[in-house]
């Protein structure tokens, strides 16, 4: 009897005959476990989070070495996607350049980043906010119907890097003016326009053109 009791105690202490429990590995969403229990990771930041219009900023990505990188910058009216690859260090890095052209001043551009190595993948994001570069005056303009019941009335829609500046729209016989907002934008209502009418817009030191 004593021998039996001793054998049972030893078995319990050593775990002999005890039921086995399965191990659970918790992995964050979007990540895939690798050998050794590590997960692919993604970290991103901008080289310049407040770049001037018509300048270049870079998405700085950190992940594993030799990893495919895809970045997508979501501007106000369009999305631009670039591809790259981290270098071959254990902690790889990649720098992906974006020329932001006349991106809308003050609009937060979200940059989505995804990294992939074989079947493993991860994602992250960063952002930047374009600001005005008054040293290089720029503007663009388009015309659209005012839809106010008068077929000759049109809005001239101005985008510029000239915030809080006087904007003037002129056709062959009349001139209208208004001030741009803090983002350099303004819509000017023109009256009695005819199809094909040429309109010249000046915003600060910038000049641009459109037709009705």
DSSP letter string over 99-113? Answer: E-TTPPTT--EEEEE
What averages of pLDDT result for each successive group of 10 residues across the chain (212 residues)? 44 42 35 54 97 93 97 96 93 95 90 96 97 80 92 92 91 90 92 90 92 90
Note down the domain range covering 150: 139-211
Tell me, yes or no, whether 148 and 102 share the same domain.
no
Is 23 a member of any domain? Answer: no
Could you say which of 101, 128, 155 is where a domain stops? 128
Give the Cα separation of 182 and 165 in Å (integer).
Answer: 9
Interatomic CA distance for residues 30 and 36, integer angstroms: 18
Tell me how far apart the 2 most distant CA atoms of the chain are, in Å.
Answer: 117
Instruction: Report the C-alpha gap between 78 and 74 in whole angstroms.
Output: 6
Domains: count for the chain: 2
pTM: 0.53
The residue assigned the tokens 């981290």 is 86
Other CB atoms within a 10 A radius of the CB of residue 120 amount to 16
pLDDT digits (tens, 9 = 90+) for 163-206: 889 999 998 888 999 999 988 899 999 998 888 899 999 998 89
CA distance 212 to 192: 11
120 and 159 in a single domain? The answer is: no
């Amino acid at each position: 009897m004593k021998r039996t009791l001793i054998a049972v105690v030893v078995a319990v202490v050593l775990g002999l005959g005890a039921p086995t429990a399965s191990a659970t590995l918790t992995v964050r969403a979007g990540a895939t476990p690798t050998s050794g229990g590590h997960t692919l990771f993604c970290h991103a930041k901008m080289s310049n989070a407040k770049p001037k219009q018509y300048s270049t900023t870079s998405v700085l990505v950190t992940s594993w070495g030799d990893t495919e990188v895809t970045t997508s910058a979501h501007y106000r009216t369009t999305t631009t996607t670039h591809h790259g690859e981290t270098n071959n260090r254990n902690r790889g890095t990649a720098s992906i350049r974006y020329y932001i052209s006349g991106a809308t001043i003050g609009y937060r551009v979200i940059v989505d980043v995804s990294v992939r190595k074989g079947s493993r993948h991860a994602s992250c994001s960063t952002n930047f906010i374009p600001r005005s570069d008054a040293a290089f005056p720029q503007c663009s303009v388009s015309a659209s119907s005012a839809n106010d019941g008068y077929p000759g009335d049109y809005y001239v829609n101005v985008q510029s890097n000239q915030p809080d500046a006087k904007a003037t729209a002129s056709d062959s016989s009349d001139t209208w003016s208004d001030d741009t907002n803090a983002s350099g934008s303004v819509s000017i209502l023109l009256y009695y326009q005819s199809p094909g009418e040429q309109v010249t817009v000046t915003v600060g030191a910038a000049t641009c053109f459109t037709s009705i």
